[in-house]
Amino acid sequence: MSIKDEIIKIAMVGISGTGKSSFISSLNQKFIISSTNGITILPRKEEQNEFFSVGELSNYSVNNEIGTDRTTIYKLKLKVDTDIVCNFDFIDYRGGILDDMFKQNKNKEEVEITKEYIRNSDAILVMVDSVMLSKYDENKRKIATGADKINPLFNIFEDELSNRGMSLLLLLSKSDSSAINPEDKANNYTLLANKALTTFNIVYECAKRQIENNWNFGILPITSMGEGNSITTEVVNKNIDDTINSLPVSYVSKLKKGAYPTSKNIDVALLYSIIGALKSKVKRYKSEIQIFENTLKKLELEKDRNKSIISFGKKAKVKEELDSKIKILKEKINVDKKEEEKIKEDIDKILQKVNVEDEILFSF
């Protein structure tokens, strides 16, 4: 499979209740039911029934109170105006799988499949519940947001993930909620972003170490409902015990009666992930072209050294082989350069449609 034919893999991870289902619902609304500035996502016809797939996406609601109970892989393609830019898989892991990963013999087959998908991801979207991040103090924050489960994953997988370019986003979900402490929302969520960095410190440190390996990192506040459109209810947790893992309350956000959901930054999260993967492809093309060009120089030098040799018998065959290799390499270089330019044009098309970088709170 050539670089251009590779499918981009985007994974969304987060504990149950962090807003993954609402995120999927917003993707459906912004990119399938309608479009965002001419950008559309469509199911890949060759791999699944597109109408069934649209229906599957539509099953998700911004009012889902219970986390996703299964891992789902959506096989999609991104269209900008009339051009198909890329194929990608969007993977929504069920929240409970994070618990199962650290339990021996618990859903072993599903856990192994999930691990393999994470190892091969081009982008990982980590869903962080902004309300839980805001309401709980430092001692409970890791448990409340799932950082106690997500942080170790990056310790385990860092070496394998470092072999590929990676876009990593901490998504501050439910950022519209009135339950978030006002000081956390001030100055464009500066305090909340800092809390996310310290809570998901291993994820952050891992990303910093991998900058040289083409990793991109950012924090992005998102909402599926829109400022003023939601009601957040405090729910007292039953069967609470005295252990450190006990959380006295949780928070459930629902759309106000009569309100229409107006999501924010859902498109940015998806497109940031895709642009990061496309930029990694450009770098790989550059590397491949450099290798081909170095080899070409060696072959041309060898050909020059053999110019004075009479062209018959074995010597003629050597010349023919050199000419053939040079021709093939020149064709490969030409093809790769065209593909590299095409991907760069596709990136520019997306950036002209959606102001991706300006919405990220903190990035490198």
CATH of the domain at 46: 3.40.50.300
Same domain, yes or no: 264 and 333: no
Q: In the predicted model, what is the mean pLDDT of residues 115-143? A: 91
Phi first, then psi, for residue 112 (nearest 5°) are -65, -40
Do 33 and 142 reside in the same domain of the chain?
A: yes
Three-class SS string for 126-146?
EEEEHHHHHHCCHHHHHHHHC
φ, ψ dihedrals at 170, nearest 5°: -90, 115
Q: Is the pLDDT of residue 59 over 50?
A: no
Give residue 84's pLDDT.
Answer: 92
Q: Is the pLDDT of residue 307 over 80?
A: no
- Tell whether 134 and 258 lie within a shared domain: yes
Domain-terminating residue out of 281, 296, 330:
281
- What is the span of the domain harbouring residue 170? 3-281
| Helical segments of the chain, H only | 20-27, 50-58, 97-100, 108-119, 130-135, 138-145, 147-161, 182-199, 201-209, 266-305, 313-353, 356-359
Q: What does the pLDDT read at residue 198?
A: 96
33-37, 83-87, 89-93, 334-338: least confidently modelled range: 33-37
The strand pair at 249-255 and 230-236 is best described as antiparallel
Claim to verify: residue 39 and residue 154 sit in the same structural domain: yes
In a domain, 358, yes or no: no
Residue 363 lies in a domain: no
Question: How many Å apart are CA 27 and CA 38, to the nearest integer?
Answer: 14
| pLDDT grade for 308, boundaries at 50, 70 and 90 | low
- Looking at the chain, the whole-number percentage of residues with pLDDT higher than 90 is 42
DSSP lists the bridge partners of residue 91 as 11, 73
pLDDT in tens, 158-197: 888 777 788 999 999 999 999 999 999 999 999 999 999 9
Q: Does residue 45 sit in the same domain as residue 166? A: yes
For residues 309 and 204, membership in a common domain is answered with no
Number of domains comprising the chain: 2
Domain finish residue from 226, 253, 281? 281
Residue of 11, 237, 53, 249 lying closest to 136 (CA atoms): 249
Question: What does the H/E/C string look like for 7-45?
Answer: CEEEEEECCCCCCHHHHHHHHHHHHHHCCECCEEEEECC
Tell me the two tokens of residue 250.
């949780």
Residue 353 lies in a domain: no
Q: What does the pLDDT read at residue 36?
A: 83
273, 330: one domain: no
Pick from 253, 149, 250, 163: which is nearest to 212 by CA?
A: 163
pLDDT > 50? residue 103: yes
Nearest to 54 by CA among 80, 37, 76: 76
Span 74-103, average pLDDT: 86
Residue 226 lies in a domain: yes
- pLDDT value at 75 more than 50: yes
Ranges 33-42, 243-252, 320-329: which has the least confidence = 243-252
163, part of any domain: yes
pLDDT tier, 119 (very low <50, low <70, confident <90, very high otherwise): confident
Instruction: Specify whether 181 is located in the same domain as 97.
Output: yes
Name the nearest CA neighbour of 97 among 201, 203, 14: 14
Query: Exposed e or buried b for every residue in 331-340, given b needs 16+ CB within 10 A?
Result: eebeebeebb
pTM of the full structure: 0.86
